[in-house]
Amino acid sequence: MSARFAGRTAIVTGASRGIGLAIAERLVADGARVVITARKKEALDEAVARLGGGEHALAVAGKTDDSEHQDDTIRQAVDTFGSVDFLVNNTGINPVYGPLVDLDLGAARKIVEVNCIAAVSWVQKAYGAWMREHGGAIVNVSSLSSVRTAPNIGFYGATKAMLNSLTELLAVELGPDIRVNGVAPAVVKTRFATALYEGREEEARQAYPLKRLGEPEDIGSVVAFLLSADAAWMTGQTVVIDGGVSLTAGEE
């Protein structure tokens, strides 16, 4: 598409499929090299092939909240491609579904660990290894449930609200040389979100003024914008990408 990210390297977590892979695809299309992470090596290897092979992408398998995995990923990014210019904290988990009064608190702690604490850790490590001296841009992938009540996934939304707050704090602390923004998608057609639309997609999309659910590419294009110089005067913002559903009274 363009060469606006030529010579730049991005780390995208949770990028073997879905939104993360779409973000990586868009960044590669715009000239970046990408380092993608996820738990399963086989899925990552398939994603690297889809991204054009080792010239454009590197896969590092591991758990996003594992500190050693984070260190290894950042080291390999610098050793292989020479920099860590961009970081996209895309990994998020939500292993529970239902009201808060039934919430498994052990699962709740794990959701906070992955969705919030791990994101901060990735930022710390990218900052120490590269961005402190060279600058950069960061995007945190949040959710519409962070700004609008979402029954049955409420704790997930609460962790994403915390991520929005962290985005603002990091933007203040890391400026002017590092920009930090976020995106908050509504329902996007991925395996992660199937419980929110499977078997009722026709009904679900009627609540959206644009009359469709999101596609991963809808998020990838906005993330690429936020990382680019076109967003040079934006920091601390979480951009809602929702097909207009937050303007309606119904639930997405």
Q: Is 208 labeled as catalytic in the residue annotation?
A: no
DSSP strand pairing (136-141 vs 86-89): parallel
Are the C-beta atoms of 85 and 136 separated by less than 8 Å? Answer: yes
Which of 10, 250, 17 shows the shortest CA–CA distance to 137? 10
Looking at 97, 127, 156, 197, which residue is catalytic?
A: 156
Give how far Cα 174 sits from Cα of 95, 164, 183, 210, 239, Å: 32, 15, 18, 36, 19
* CA pseudo-torsion sign 50, 229, 77, 123: negative
Q: For the chain, what is the radius of gyration of the CA atoms? A: 17
Residues designated catalytic: 156
